[in-house]
Amino acid sequence: MNYWLHLSIMICIYVALAQSLNLIVGYGGMLSLCHAAFCGIGAYASTILMMRAHWPFEAAVVAAVAGVSLIAWLVSFLITRLHGDFFVLGTLGFQQIVYAILYNWVDVTQGQYGIPGVPRPSLFGVRVVTPGGFLILALAVSVLCGGIAWWLTASAYGRLLQAVREDPVAAQSLGKDANAIKRSAFAWAGGLAALPGVVYATYSSYIDPTSFGLEDSILILTMLVVGGAGNFRGPVVGAVILVLLPELLRFLAVPDRVAPNLRQIVYGVAIVVMMRFRPQGIAGKYAFD
């Protein structure tokens, strides 16, 4: 029972991450490889505030989301000036910078040893400690992130973001600041990514830099490539498939030392196959090119 609860919690966490990345990739048309960095900053910020500053969970969450949104907005001033492959390299560079900081700033992050004993969340006096309680919390965060993403993309802002994706020059000619719109998308996506990061930290009760590395950013992007981007359904489908797919290796009795590398091969093959035969993903609207 706990096994299926764990899978359900992880699905909810990754659905929230995929929905937030969808704002940048699916609606903004910007291929980003730094989403795990935003998630990691949120996880570390909330953990440090709760453990060292003794902030309550609710205040730590608000501060983490606001802080990550600000960081994403500031970083976007540099990244959104780049185009094409250079944009992807820019996001990759930021991902690696964040990973290096988390790994080497030992006085704050405890480096490669990570931070154990992350406090369990307490919402308005109700302490979440059981797998069932965490499933409710993760589901609530997933619904919240998905609801905010849907509200943004269904509004005039979402249509404007898609217009910038399709033809930024035409949007500029109509008096719209394309770079400002892209920066705002980064701020929203970064802030939303912090929420599942907080849930993951409190659920696992331990965080270290390897949980928020480049492989994780690639995994979240793969969920959009496989499930689809540019609508609400695609990220959900992709998150469910990519979380459950590696679990098949358990039933195939694949050795533990081989399974991680095999998972990466499976993800790579999935990207190649989808880009070749269905660039819009299984249930998506935006076609990758």
Average pLDDT, integer, range 138-161: 94
For the full predicted model, state whether its pTM sits above 0.85: yes
Distance CA 51, CA 93 (A): 30
For tokens 């993403």, name the residue. 149
* CB neighbour list of residue 241: distance below 8 Å, 6 or more residues apart: 223, 226, 227, 282
* CB neighbour list of residue 103: distance below 8 Å, 6 or more residues apart: 109, 111, 112, 209
Domain boundaries, the chain: 2-210
Distance CA 113, CA 106 (A): 9
- The 10s digit of each residue's pLDDT in 182-227 is 999 999 999 999 999 999 999 999 999 999 999 999 999 999 999 9
Which amino acid, 146?
G
Inform me whether the pLDDT recorded for 256 exceeds 70. no
CA 185 vs CA 20, 90, 179, 241: distances in Å: 9, 16, 10, 26
Which amino acid, 26?
G
Inform me whether the pLDDT recorded for 43 exceeds 80. yes
Task: Determine what percent of the chain is predicted with pLDDT higher than 70.
Answer: 98
Query: Average pLDDT over the chain, rounded to whole?
Result: 91
